[in-house]
Amino acid sequence: MIVGAGPVGLYLAARLLQEGLSVRVLEQRKGRNLHSRAIGIHPPALEALDRLQLAAAMVQEGVPIRTGMAVSGGKTVGTMSFSGVSEEYPFVLSLPQFRTEQLLEERVQAFDGGAIVRGARVTGLEDDGDRAAAVVEPSERGTSRGGRFEASFVVAADGARSPLRDLLGVPVKTRHYPDHYLMGDFSDAGDHGQMAVLFLEPEGIVESFPLPGGLRRWVVRLGRPAGSCDAVKLSRLVLQRTGILPAAGTNTMLSAFSVRSTLARHTVAGRVLLLGDAAHEISPIGGQGMNLGWLDAEALAPLLCEAVRLKHPGSGFREFEAARHRAAVVARRQAEVNMLLGRPLPPPLLKLRNFALGAAASSAAVNRWTARRFTMQQAVPALRPAGITSGSSSRNCPG
């Protein structure tokens, strides 16, 4: 039983269905959020998605970002190439989250058309040591009959403010940061092609990423919460710092957010497990959260297969918990570095920082190391228990 039909829950569902397990996905929302939201898919995640035969379709629809460029005061500080991070996927793929979820959901439904139950709000959890169960509140419109859903395991992939984590009473360690952002998607004037551009300005960073459909995302760092979202306000902020004016009338998405991180004290509670943002919320800057969740799921899938085959959880779950906690800590540190580079600086310190970044970018070895860190190579799961393969036709787990 997987609670949450976001990208991480859907990925795990598809991987387990691919291996022959019986899976149900309980989702509280009755429909999909159509905003672009998370857009960056890193090479290790694309390699995982390829096991579901989805990577090729995603690459065909998305925009492969092969180069990042840092600019300050209208001058190029340095560039970073992703050419050495992966033989198969030497880029970060830009694809709106709603399309990513759509492709994953289609794959789940191809395996089992009844696997996803929408309008299902989980209000209780049970675990007697041999089985687990999710208690579902009946929906008002009858989209979910409610009741008690039993399974070998329950996986909570229900987001950063996970209700299931609260039901389990799992404490979290939270950090709040002095970083606030306003972002939006606008028509792309085509000045930067398919490059990601970071404008390192005295007032704070402005980030710019290409999107499919001739769009470009603009993200502006603020010193305080943005309050109301306004496309005109965002366009003017971008103009003030970069000299570029996104056309406010072409805006298709606006979002304001303040950054925090959370790490659950533990993610395995008997036959209930926390996954993705429910286990660790990471700053969206750098696009690591969704990718980290996929890599969590890729590490968890073989353990669930093995546990179902043996009819009891093994010690691998504790190893999984420790390994993925370490990966989350590394991802959080990388996100903190990304945010630090984007904070305002007085002109002398900004000049010094830009000089250091330029020197680092000019070194092939440093450039390659930085690109690997940025694209989450250090977060790839190391656990590879027997009992699951990477092929789409394998059936190594009992139904």
For residue 248, give the DSSP letter: G
Q: Taking 70 as the threshold, does the pLDDT of residue 397 lie above it?
A: no
Q: Which of 60-69, 172-181, 335-344, 370-379 has the lowest mean pLDDT?
A: 370-379
Residue 35 neighbours by CB under 8 Å, 6+ apart = 96, 97, 98, 253, 255
* Residue matched to tokens 């190029």: 76
Q: Taking 60 as the threshold, does the pLDDT of residue 209 lie above it?
A: yes
Reference 44, options 321, 304, 381, 277; nearest CA is: 381
Residue 291's pLDDT is 94
Residue 143's pLDDT is 53
User: Per residue in 102-161, pLDDT tens?
Assistant: 999 999 999 999 999 999 999 999 999 899 999 998 766 555 567 899 999 999 999 999
CB 122 within 8 A of CB 163: yes
CA Rg value for the chain:
21
Strand, coil or helix: 49: helix
SS3 letters across 234-253 = HHHHHHHHHCCCCCHHHCCE
Q: Taking 50 as the threshold, does the pLDDT of residue 69 lie above it?
A: yes
The one-letter amino acid at 131: R
- Angle between the N-to-C axes of helices 289-310 and 316-341, in degrees from 0 to 180, rounded to the nearest 10: 180
For residue 379, give the DSSP letter: G
pLDDT band at 399; cut points 50, 70, 90:
very low
User: Per residue in 277-310, pLDDT tens?
Assistant: 999 999 887 678 899 999 999 999 999 999 998 8
Domains of the chain: 2-39+96-171+265-344 (3.50.50.60), 176-259 (3.30.70.2450)
